[in-house]
């Protein structure tokens, strides 16, 4: 079998550290959108990562005739009543507020008042992870080094899945190293940058075929910011069926 990859402009429908309220039962968290898959849900309590062994998932009892797991459910009651919770998860295309069902993203986003949205700290780092990954190298006439050559795999026949995994991993490593070098140049030039925006270390890059849709290849990227927080990002690449 051979694979043709198409990655440009695909939205990952990823909700990044969305605030969630602990219900009165002190065991359940309701997020605002449908959870597409429970495999890559990440939960934080008071800014600390909650081990996956501490929670599972249940159907939302408030959703009528909705057979979709949507709520995080702790195996035991949460002891602290002061903790706040944040959840990272992927939602469905028709409930994604980033692409509003269009499956593609623009660089410029506006808030509810129609003003240009400005990202800071770890959210800005997350945006840079995406931009440096999906941008085709050479497409920016002012920064031809920016991005990856993954787009050049369009139309290329790949018969070895291991080779494809290695290529994608190498490309992502290279472009994130370039991001890290660029940030250091900015800091040395006197540019203000928070520790949450600075890439400290590439923690992990995993590339694998989708379990729910075999035409999808997913690259899961985890990096650590200078602030000590871990930022995760998933890039989806579609293969023609």
pLDDT at 177 over 70: yes
Q: How confident is the model at residue 174 (pLDDT cuts 50, 70, 90)?
A: very high
Average pLDDT in the chain: 79
pLDDT at 210 over 70: no
pLDDT at 73 over 90: yes
Alpha-carbon distance 71 to 27, whole Å? 10
Q: Between 148 and 105, where is the model more confident?
A: 148
Domain chopping of the chain, boundaries: 14-238
Write down the pLDDT at residue 176. 93
Which of 117-126, 178-187, 232-241 ranks highest by mean pLDDT? Answer: 178-187
CA dihedral 90, 96, 98, 99 (to 10 degrees): 120
Write down the pLDDT at residue 3. 44
pLDDT at 201 over 60: yes
Give me 214's structure tokens.
């075999």
> What's the whole-number mean pLDDT along residues 85-93?
90
Least confident of 40-54, 108-122, 217-231: 108-122
- Entry pTM: 0.52
Mind listing the pLDDT tens digit for each residue in 219-230? Answer: 889 999 999 999
Write down the pLDDT at residue 142. 66
Query: Among the CATH numbers 3.10.450.40, 3.40.50.720, 3.40.50.12280, 2.70.98.10, which is that of 14-238?
Result: 3.10.450.40
> What's the whole-number mean pLDDT along residues 21-32?
90
Query: In 2-120, which ranges are continuous DSSP H helix?
Result: none
């Amino acid at each position: 079998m051979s694979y043709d990859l198409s990655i440009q402009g695909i939205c990952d429908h990823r909700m990044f550290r969305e605030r969630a309220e602990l219900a009165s039962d002190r065991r359940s968290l309701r997020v605002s959108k449908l959870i597409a898959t429970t495999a890559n849900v990440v939960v934080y309590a008071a800014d600390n990562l909650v081990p996956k062994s501490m929670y599972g998932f249940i159907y939302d009892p408030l959703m009528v005739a909705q057979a979709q797991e949507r709520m995080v459910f702790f195996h035991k009651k949460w002891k602290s009543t002061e903790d706040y919770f944040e959840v990272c998860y992927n939602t469905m295309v028709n409930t994604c507020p980033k692409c509003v069902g269009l499956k593609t993203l623009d660089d410029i986003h506006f808030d509810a008042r129609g003003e240009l949205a400005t990202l800071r700290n770890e959210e800005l780092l997350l945006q840079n992870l995406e931009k440096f990954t999906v941008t085709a190298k050479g497409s920016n006439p002012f920064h031809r080094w920016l991005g990856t050559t993954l787009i050049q795999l369009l139309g290329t026949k790949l018969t070895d899945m291991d080779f494809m995994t290695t290529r994608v991993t190498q490309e992502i490593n290279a472009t994130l190293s370039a991001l890290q070098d660029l940030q250091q140049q900015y800091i040395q030039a006197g540019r203000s940058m928070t520790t949450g925006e600075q890439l400290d270390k590439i923690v992990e890059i995993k590339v694998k075929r989708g379990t729910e849709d075999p035409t999808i290849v997913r690259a899961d990227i985890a990096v650590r910011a200078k602030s000590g927080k871990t930022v995760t990002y998933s890039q989806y690449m579609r293969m023609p069926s």
